Amino acid sequence: MTSDTTETTGPTGTTGDQQAPSAATGPVRPVVARTRDELRTARAELDDGDVAVVMTMGALHEGHATLIRRARETHAHVVVTIFLNPLQFGPREDLSRYPRTFDADLEICTAAGVDLVFAPTPDVIYPDGDPGVRVSAGPLGDVLEGQSRPGHFDGMLTVVAKLMHLTRCTSAYFGQKDAQQLLLIRRMVRDLDFPVRVVSVPTVREADGLAMSSRNTYLTPSDREVALSLSRALQAGADAAVEGASAIRRAARAVLVREPLALVDYLVLVHPETLEDVPEWYHGEALLAVAARVGTTRLIDNVPVLVGPGGGARETFADH
Ligand code: AMP
């Protein structure tokens, strides 16, 4: 059953604003579940076999919509979760100012053909308060993003595990934009035997190259100009890929040094599975990744590159 034909009777109290599926009314609004009971009821309406999930923190944009459409192409049902997970935000991070745009998010979900939106509050996800038992990201969670954001990946994996269980998904779609997150989710699924297929989707960019992000709304017009140096640096690095690792690093660094207002946290060329710096002689798949503060906003971006002969930018690497 596709969303175009989904019965619109959702869980009690969540059906009021749903439209009847007809040519006159256009796409059907997804069922919205806010509690575990509502999710259970709505999820039971979907055939068990084939449910893809796209997990988000809301403030949806074309990047999220692309993930949803990709999931939609090959799955009978798509569930979107919208949850700002306090467990993955540090005390000095932007949880309180993170944009909340639920009505607009629902429009995007409707247009992209989502069946069910699960939008719980923290007390629904963590009824006993902060969980004592959590998923540990291990050493891969301590480097790059993990170095600036201690505990972030444990909090992220913990909620991803819970949302996989709660939605009973068979596939889960994640963006290449958050490469370390994607790697850690793949590792969790493999290491802990989750019966879920993880699918990666290439980074969606603005026309000028800026990676789409909910946090881009924090950028002033001049911040935005500065922020472009990140994607330009990655592009310059990828363009030097045939010349090897040193040339990639040099080319990317050369762009960033010309933009002192981008306060670079890291610019690295690492192995996509170990996240360790690749040696100068390296040929093969690598990740060129950058994090920088621009104004008050911390931005990340990356490009998968093939280093060496025939090298250059790639959209995303297959799971190994
Ligand atoms: P977020 O709401 O930022 O946590 O992102 C939810 C999902 O959307 C994650 O899998 C992200 O990697 C993915 N995502 C966010 N921005 C983009 C983008 N520009 N291109 C592709 N995927 C994205």
pLDDT in tens, 250-293: 999 999 999 999 999 999 999 999 999 999 999 999 999 999 99
Closest of 17, 15, 19, 117 to residue 4, by C-alpha: 19
- Structure confidence by residue, pLDDT tens digits, 131-147: 999 999 999 999 999 99
At position 51, the amino acid (one-letter code) is V
User: Which residue has its alpha carbon closest to ligand 1 atom 13?
Assistant: 175
DSSP 218: G
- Structure confidence by residue, pLDDT tens digits, 202-242: 999 999 999 999 999 999 999 999 999 999 999 999 999 99
pLDDT at residue 25 in the model: 63
Ligand 1 — pocket residues by CB below 6 A?
A: 56-57, 63-64, 67, 174-175, 177-178, 201, 203-204, 211-214
Tell me the catalytic residues.
64
Q: Are 287 and 270 in contact (CB under 8 A)?
A: yes
Q: How far apart are CA 129 and CA 122, in angstroms?
A: 9
User: Which residue has its alpha carbon closest to ligand 1 atom 11?
Assistant: 175
Residues in the chain, overall count: 320
Q: Following DSSP, what letter does each residue of 82-97 receive, concatenated?
A: E---GGGS-TTSSTTT
Q: Are 41 and 7 in contact (CB under 8 A)?
A: no
pLDDT at residue 24 in the model: 59
Q: Which residues, 6 or more positions from 191, have their beta carbon under 8 angstroms from its beta carbon?
A: none
Determine the residue of 67, 102, 231 to mutate for testing ligand 1's pocket, defined as the one with the most ligand atoms within 8 A of the Cβ atom.
67
pLDDT at residue 316 in the model: 86
- Please, what are the domains in the chain? 31-201 (3.40.50.620), 214-308 (3.30.1300.10)
